[in-house]
Amino acid sequence: MSTAPLHHPLTDSFPRRGHSENTAWSGSVGSTDVSQVSRRTWWCMFFASTTALLTSAYLAWSSLTSSPIAGCSGGSVFDCNHVLHSRWSSVMSIPVSLPAMATHGLILGMLCWNATTARSSQIRWRLVGFAALLAGGAAVWFTGLQIFALGHLCKYCLVAHAGGLVVAGAFLYSRPVSKTALKWITLAAAGSLAGLIGVQYAAEPPQTFEIIEYDTPQPAVIDPAVPASDEGMGDDDFFAPPASANLQSALELRIDRWQSESLPRLVNAIANPATLLMAQVEAAPEKTKATATILNGIKLHTDAWPLVGDPDAKMVFVEMFDYTCSHCQETHKSLAAACKHFGDDLAVITLPVPMDQSCNSTVRSTSAEHRDACNLAKLAVAVWLVDHAKFAEFHDYLFESKPNYAAALTHASTVVDKDKLDSVLAGTVPSDYISKHVSLYKRAGAGTIPKMLFPRTTTVGAVSSSQTLIDMINRYL
């Protein structure tokens, strides 16, 4: 039975039986390229590059359409959204997945090219080598960024990078080019990668937030999860805290007023009875409460909500966030720097809005990283209710340490009185506050957090630059 040689783009790359590939390693400098690889190496490069191409195509589609990444919505380690919205995810405003697609497309095209002459075969493998080494170098660069610069990983990105590393490794293992050609290929790939890195460093970080301006007050949103008595606005467009908080604080307020006003007058009257006859005991004028205005007309009393800073500060705005949200954690760093810059002139009403469907009806499904969001938010409110002065410290702890609920509860018990904290947590007031936060969050348009609400403007999304935030505060307050 006779056989005939097969000629096909997918098979012509393979060495004929009896041909030794060792000549590729033993050729002298300047020798002719040995343009053949083993069948196993060819298929390894083909499948790795195909996988990387398809994965890069999916990431490019997600970036261009702003679609969520399946199975990688966020977390303490894996957070594709965080990675794909960082400054390193694009080059000259183009998602890096598009150049990755071009690189692997070139590799696949050259692998399938039926080179019929020695010269075309040399060009073919040199292009494969350039693209493979560029993909491998980019894989090392972008993986390092995820680990050391961003602190989060994108599983789809890692699959694409793994494909690039496999292709580069397979090319170097088979080395179907001369030593001289390999040297120039390596220099070209390294230069191209250095150029990409330089462009990324030189580029301005992308704006990751949106600015919304309001010409008219935002309409109220009826939330069935909030009691009717808590849903509406208070007098003169004031957004009132939950009724349960007012009932709980009424007695405490009367006690505080008696201690601060009535008790001193009583002591003075006992010490100087003549003041009673001369009607010199006068009621102190009631102090006007400071307010913050948001959404072009809605007002909040600064002492009625969790607050970082002085309730009587010159500048006050509202922040909506989730303690388990990576973008909120990033924005908190900028906000901390802004608070340090303005000092006592700035205060922030902090309204946690958990991305957890158990206490936020706008969330359709709760991802793993937000499983403690509701409990952490309620705990923060409870700490504020127990001791306003200790709230800022605990608020920073939740953002900076990123604890789970058990660890946060233990720490809270060391920050404020444990018995009082347990009593507040056993009641409904913290949950009622969160419901009010969510109600206001809906009125602000729901959707993306963090949100920073100024009198006529709202910013939506992460603000990673402290100077940018300082400029916004100066502009909008």
pLDDT tens by residue, 286-330: 567 899 999 999 999 999 999 999 999 999 999 999 999 988 998
Average pLDDT, the chain: 84
**Residue 399 vs residues 22, 408, 447: alpha-carbon distances, Å:** 58, 11, 21
| pTM metric for this prediction | 0.67
**What is the band of 284 on the pLDDT scale with cuts at 50, 70, 90?**
low
If pLDDT is split at 50, 70 and 90, which confidence band does 199 have?
very high
Cite the DSSP H helix spans in 85-178.
97-111, 118-144, 155-174
Instruction: Say whether pLDDT at 189 is over 90.
Output: yes
DSSP letter string over 406-446?
Answer: HHHHHHHHHHS-HHHHHHHHHSSHHHHHHHHHHHHHHHTT-
Tokens representing 435 are: 């419901």
Most distant CA atoms of the chain, gap in Å: 133
CB 365 within 8 A of CB 379: no
Out of 248-257, 425-434, 453-462, pick the least confident: 248-257
Q: Which residue has the higher pLDDT, 359 or 283?
A: 359
Whether residue 342 is predicted with pLDDT greater than 60 in this model: the reply is yes
Strand partners for 299: 238, 293
Give the pLDDT confidence of 209-266 residue by residue, as tens digits.
889 998 766 665 545 444 444 455 555 578 999 988 765 554 454 455 445 555 556 5
Q: Where are the domains of the chain?
A: 23-202, 228-280+288-476
Domain 23-202 belongs to what topology? Answer: de novo design (two linked rop proteins) (1.20.1440)
Q: Residue 208: which pLDDT band, with cuts at 50, 70 and 90?
A: confident
pLDDT at 2: 42
Q: What is the pLDDT of residue 205?
A: 73
Output the pLDDT for position 313: 96
Residue-wise pLDDT for 57-114, tens only, equals 999 999 898 787 887 765 557 878 778 888 899 998 899 999 999 999 999 999 999 8
CATH 3.30.70.260 fits 228-280+288-476, yes or no: no
CA distance 138 to 121: 26
Q: What is the mean pLDDT of residues 3-30?
A: 41
Mean pLDDT lowest among 183-192, 263-272, 384-393: 263-272
- In the prediction, which pLDDT does 250 show? 43
Percent of the chain with pLDDT over 70: 79
pLDDT at 247: 52
Instruction: Return d(Cα 56, Cα 104) in angstroms, integer.
Output: 9
Q: What pLDDT score does 25 carry?
A: 35
- Helix, strand, coil percentages, rounded to 5, for the chain: 55, 10, 35
pLDDT digits (tens, 9 = 90+) for 367-378: 888 999 999 999
**Which of the residue ranges 115-119, 190-194, 229-233 has the most confident prediction, judged by mean pLDDT?**
190-194
